[in-house]
Amino acid sequence: MLDNPAVAIRTPTIKRRLMAMLYELMLIAAVEFFANFLFIFLSGNRQAPLFRHLGIALFFLVAAAYFLHAWCGSGFTLAMKTWRIKLVKVGHARVPFGAALLRHLLAWCWLLPALYLSHVLKLSHGQTGIALAIGIAVWALTAFLDQDRQFLHDKLAGTRLIQLPPPARKLPATA
């Protein structure tokens, strides 16, 4: 699609990308739930600090595996495919692993600053939710700083999200 100059490359709207992210949140929660269930089962639900740290590491590794596999393969996750959004790196047939990994790490900037402040300031759960909402809103606004309306993590990783065209309609068979 990127090789055909006749096809206009459009950036998905911010609303469309945020809706895909909301859907993605539900999907990754299910994947993480299953991984956590297996970890608890296999570890015997031990609560020693080592096991808590391993559980956190597993959380990050499962998320990374989920996204990197999708982005380096087809260029989209199930949520992105549903919303017809694809991750690309200009000049490459597929997103290189390094670019996808950098994008994944930078995408944590949507959440980590708020979580860090919440921990340092010992915020309540409600205050943490407000901090996360503000952090997400601020990060989403970075798209308005870019002429192509790409989010900051895509700009820094050298990747971009593109809007895929709607699927071709099949004409009914005539008898």
C-alpha closest to that of 59 among 89, 32, 23: 32
C-alpha closest to that of 154 among 91, 74, 100, 80: 100
Q: For 138-161, what is each residue's pLDDT tens digit?
A: 998 999 999 989 999 999 999 999
Distance, CA of 10 to CA of 164 (rounded, Å)? 8
DSSP for residue 10: B
Write down the domain spans for the chain.
14-163
Residue 84, C-beta contacts closer than 8 angstroms, at least 6 positions apart:
12, 163, 164, 165, 166
Paired tokens of 26 = 């539900």
Give, for 73, the enclosing helix (H) or strand (E): helix 49-73
C-alpha closest to that of 156 among 164, 165, 146, 166: 146
Q: For 23-59, what is each residue's pLDDT tens digit?
A: 999 999 999 999 999 999 999 988 899 998 999 999 9
Contact 88, 160 (CB under 8 A): yes
> What pTM was estimated for this model as a whole?
0.84
